[in-house]
């Protein structure tokens, strides 16, 4: 049933969950917020209070992907749903309730801050993204919520395994805020 709902710009979901789009919207210039999704939150079985909608979360933040791109081929390539003209090299998304989404970015920023305060650490090397993310989470003292922490670690893992450098992001103030 929900598959038939239009969830694009200006649709019911957009109308209900974010302010009207600005005519002059440009990349990252207008705060339109995350794209809404009619699919249930993938991170939690139950919600209190009830989650009436979800948000489509790009596991590797779109702002990071716009700043740096790995060599092709990009097996998970796709167009950005909300930044016109931007081609993402990892378009994979996860449907989160708003709280889970906010928590994921909160934990990601904590991990990035921990990295930023450790100038002796390299930015990680491809193939070791998961281990590096685990190390950062431990250093930051992060253990929960489990689903959100897994989501935050996955951002770091995929960035590093694609060849991305965390130091590059820190130097540009890109800590993965929502
Ligand atoms: Zn997100
Ligand atoms: Zn949730």
- pLDDT in 10s for each residue of the chain, 178 residues: 344 556 666 555 555 555 554 444 444 444 457 888 889 999 999 999 999 889 999 999 999 999 999 999 999 999 998 887 899 999 999 999 999 999 999 999 999 999 999 988 988 899 999 999 999 999 999 999 999 999 999 999 999 999 999 999 999 999 999 8
Centre of ligand 1 to C-alpha 73, Å, is 24
CA gap 42, 30 in Å, rounded: 27
Centre of ligand 1 to C-alpha 83, Å, is 14
Query: What is the pLDDT, as a whole number, of residue 38?
Result: 84
Query: What is the pLDDT, as a whole number, of residue 99?
Result: 96
Centre of ligand 2 to C-alpha 112, Å, is 23
CA gap 178, 151 in Å, rounded: 13
Centre of ligand 2 to C-alpha 126, Å, is 31
Query: What is the pLDDT, as a whole number, of residue 28?
Result: 44
Ligand number nearest to the C-alpha of 57: 1
Strand partners, 76: 90
Query: What is the pLDDT, as a whole number, of residue 6?
Result: 61
Chain CA centroid to CA 127, Å: 20
Quick count: other Cβ atoms within 10 Å of Cβ 169? Answer: 23
Centre of ligand 1 to C-alpha 125, Å, is 24
Centre of ligand 2 to C-alpha 13, Å, is 17
């Amino acid at each position: 049933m929900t598959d038939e709902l239009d969830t694009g710009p200006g649709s019911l979901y957009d109308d209900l969950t974010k302010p009207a789009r600005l005519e002059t919207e440009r990349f990252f210039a207008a705060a339109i917020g995350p794209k809404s999704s009619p699919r249930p939150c993938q991170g939690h079985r139950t919600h209190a209070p009830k989650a009436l909608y979800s948000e489509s979360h790009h596991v590797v933040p779109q702002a990071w992907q716009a700043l740096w791109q790995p060599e092709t081929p990009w097996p998970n390539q796709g167009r950005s749903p909300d930044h016109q003209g931007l081609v993402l090299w990892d378009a994979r998304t996860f449907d989160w309730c708003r709280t889970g989404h906010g928590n994921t970015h909160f934990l990601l920023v904590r991990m990035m801050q921990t990295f930023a305060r450790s100038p002796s650490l390299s930015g990680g090397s491809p193939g070791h993204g998961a281990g590096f993310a685990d190390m950062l989470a431990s250093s930051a003292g992060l253990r929960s919520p489990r689903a959100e922490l897994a989501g935050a670690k996955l951002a770091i893992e995929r960035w590093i395994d694609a060849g991305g450098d965390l130091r590059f992001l820190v130097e540009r103030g890109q800590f993965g805020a929502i």
